[in-house]
Amino acid sequence: MFGLGGDKEVVGLDIGSHAIKTVGLRSKKKEGAEQYEVKKIGYEFLPQDAIVEGTIIDSPAVVETIKMVFDENKISNKNVVISISGNSVIIKKISLPNMETEELAESIIWEAKHNIPYPYEETNVDYSILKPSESTKEKNLDILLVAAKKDKIANYSNVVHQAKKNLKAIEVDVFALQNAFEINYPEIYSGKTVAIINLGSNITNTVIIEKGTPQLFRDLSLGGAYFCENISKDLNVSFDDVEKMLKGIPVEGVPEDQFKNALNLNIQNALGEVEKTFDFYEAGEKSERKIDLILLSGGLSKLSNLPKDFEQKFNTKTEIFNPFRNIYYDEKKFDSMYFEEMPSLFGVATGLATRKVEK
């Protein structure tokens, strides 16, 4: 959304609360369509509490981890696109009469001042005009209004600059996920209504895309870190022990049924929050709305029975999102774990890497 100009080829740099992910893609036209190949990929854990609830607390640690993921994976391209999310990012869908560009820009500023719960001067604002749905007969423009607090942007921009990388654009997590979805699921993208749930460490991003048009966005304050914190308190065990159990590794002194009960309680709480989002979407129009498919991404999506939990709760087909489903990669060049065990962790980074930055 917030472009900063520069060269065309970029590296998607996903600065998460738990780890930093990078993806570099090579694109080419084939038979009129864009095709992508993985050129570079990397993953590095961050020290605990380096980023808390989407705010960078330990800048030096984040800077060093960015440098490390580039060095370890021999990524020479310094042009990066990052993304942000959370309470400091506001996305609103608004409707305005069709008008000239200059008038529209003035109206956008007015709408921003009245729709953003922060002083306008403290935010960066951008917008995107949505394509009209097939059923739309009105001549109004549907517009996505995006505002991000300047201190949030500075918080993330600074670590990129300190890591000696060239920041070319700042995106929003849910838009990056939409980009990755469009490329990898073309047969579904334009014809179905799909909910993408990105279950991160501190924030869960939700976007509902109806026949290629984003309709609803919500960032939930829940994720793997909250699961670990809650289970740690319930069972009186360490954070590290909870992480082991979430990976299926038994911990001495903790009965398996107690852990499963504590985990299930957290899963049900998360499902309840997602349900509120779905209910809001389905009640938003006079015509009947129904989600056809749920795609899960992020670290928590690796929990073995989570897709089944979603299917039972919402009676909707649920799969793990694969951001490399329609992207070529050389099996001899990369560690297979990225594409077989960890693909759902790279949804945002892959979407960022597809961004075109004009020269």
**Alpha-carbon span 250 to 62, nearest angstrom:** 31
Query: What pLDDT score was predicted for residue 357?
Result: 47
Average pLDDT, the chain: 91
Query: What pLDDT score was predicted for residue 285?
Result: 65
Which stretch of DSSP H or E encloses residue 270?
helix 256-282
> By residue range, what is the domain housing residue 51?
2-353
Residue 358 lies in a domain: no
Residue 295 lies in a domain: yes
Query: What pLDDT score was predicted for residue 359?
Result: 39
**Alpha-carbon span 37 to 21, nearest angstrom:** 17
End-to-end Cα separation, the chain, in angstroms: 16
When pLDDT is averaged across residues 58-87 and rounded to a whole number, the result is 96
Amino acid identity of residue 207, one-letter, is V
Query: What pLDDT score was predicted for residue 1?
Result: 58
pLDDT confidence tier of residue 7, bands split at 50, 70 and 90: very low
Query: What pLDDT score was predicted for residue 242?
Result: 94
Query: What pLDDT score was predicted for residue 102?
Result: 84
Residue 173 lies in a domain: yes
Side by side, which strands form the sheet with 89-96?
89-96, 141-149, 123-129
Residue 59 lies in a domain: yes
> 206: which 2 tokens?
């939700």
Residues 100-154 pLDDT 10s:
888 888 998 999 998 889 999 999 999 988 876 554 455 788 899 999 999 999 9
**Alpha-carbon span 246 to 242, nearest angstrom:** 6
**Angle CA 110–174–166, to nearest 5:** 85
Residue 233 lies in a domain: yes
**Alpha-carbon span 357 to 14, nearest angstrom:** 17
Residue 250 lies in a domain: yes
pLDDT confidence tier of residue 14, bands split at 50, 70 and 90: very high
Question: What SS3 state is found at 79?
Answer: strand
CATH code (residue 265): 3.30.420.40
Q: Please state the φ and ψ torsions of residue 203, each to the nearest 5 degrees.
A: -130, 140
Q: What is the DSSP letter of 6?
A: -
Residue 359 lies in a domain: no
Q: Which residue has the higher pLDDT, 247 or 261?
A: 261
**Alpha-carbon span 207 to 283, nearest angstrom:** 16
From its phi and psi, is residue 326 left (phi > 0), alpha (psi between -120 and 50) or beta?
A: alpha
What is the largest distance, in Å, between two alpha-carbon atoms of the chain?
68
319: pLDDT strictly greater than 50: yes
pLDDT confidence tier of residue 287, bands split at 50, 70 and 90: low
**CA 193 to each of CA 148, 155, 289, 329: distance values in angstroms, whole numbers, following the listed order:** 27, 35, 9, 28
Residues 200-251 pLDDT 10s:
999 999 999 999 999 999 999 999 999 999 999 999 999 999 999 998 899 9
Tally the domains of the chain.
1
Amino acid identity of residue 29, one-letter, is K
Residue 284 lies in a domain: yes
CB-based contact 318:180 (threshold 8 Å): no
Question: Which is it for the CA torsion 230, 233, 236, 240, positive or negative?
Answer: positive
Cross-strand pairs, 196: 207, 295
Task: Quickly list H helices, 21-146.
Answer: 59-72, 101-115
33: pLDDT strictly greater than 80: no
pLDDT confidence tier of residue 267, bands split at 50, 70 and 90: very high
**Alpha-carbon span 155 to 149, nearest angstrom:** 10
By mean pLDDT, which of 23-27, 29-33, 123-127, 141-145 is the weakest? 29-33
What pTM was estimated for this model as a whole? 0.92
pLDDT-above-70 percentage for the chain: 94
**78 CB-side CA count, 13 A:** 8
Q: Position of tokens 């709480």? A: 269
Residues 153-182 pLDDT 10s:
999 999 999 999 999 999 999 999 999 999
Virtual torsion, Cα 280, 281, 286, 287, nearest 10 deg: -150
Query: What pLDDT score was predicted for residue 140?
Result: 82
